[in-house]
Structure 1
Amino acid sequence: CGGSDGNFTAALGVPTLDGLGLFGGDAHQKTEYVVVSEIPRRTALLAELLYAL
């Protein structure tokens, strides 16, 4: 659950990518964390998307 600036573009019917950040949990809480071992995979995903553009 949560919100994103992408909500504005998606509401206009514009194709919108969201959720390209790091993998983890407890967003915006004191217990928020990131799974460090997933950082290379998420970085590669973003790099491939940019390359495709």
Structure 2
Amino acid sequence: MRLTVTGEWNRPPMVPGDPSRRLFERAHTIAAEHGWELEETAVGGASDGNFVSALGRPVLDGLGALGSGAHARHEHTVLAPIPARTALTIDLLRSLAADAT
């Protein structure tokens, strides 16, 4: 028996440029104001953010709910961090909107 697997990359790599680093620093500062530390990390996988990043635009991926088991039967979300992460997102958007006016 023989098995042949073929394929290709369908997204560019998400390489954090200066715009993404500045956006992360802003989010990091806001998280600290809420009393917690937002940590930078790199993981496997891909998102539509890969396309945006390739255009040199700022991208923060992973501000949503925390959990485990993505796309598996045991997938779950941890409820306790949701309010703090929601507050961070709201305040980050407010901060960006204030700069745009």
Give the shorter-chain TM-score range.
0.7 to 0.9
Count of residue correspondences:
53
Q: TM-score, normalised to structure 2's length?
A: 0.48
Q: How does 1:1-53 map to 2 (within 5 A)?
A: 1-53=44-96
Moved over 4 A (4+): none
Gaps of 5+ in 1: none
Tell which structure's C-alpha radius of gyration is larger: 2
- Using CA pairs below 8 Å that are at least 6 residues apart, which structure has the higher relative contact order? 2
Identity of aligned residues (%): 55
CA RMSD of aligned residues (A): 1.1
Structure 2 unpaired stretches of 5+: 1-43, 97-101
TM-score by length of 1: 0.84
After TM superposition, give the deviation of residue 12 of structure 1 in Å: 1.9
Aligned residue for 1:37, secondary structure, equals: coil
TM-fit CA distance, 1:41? 1.0
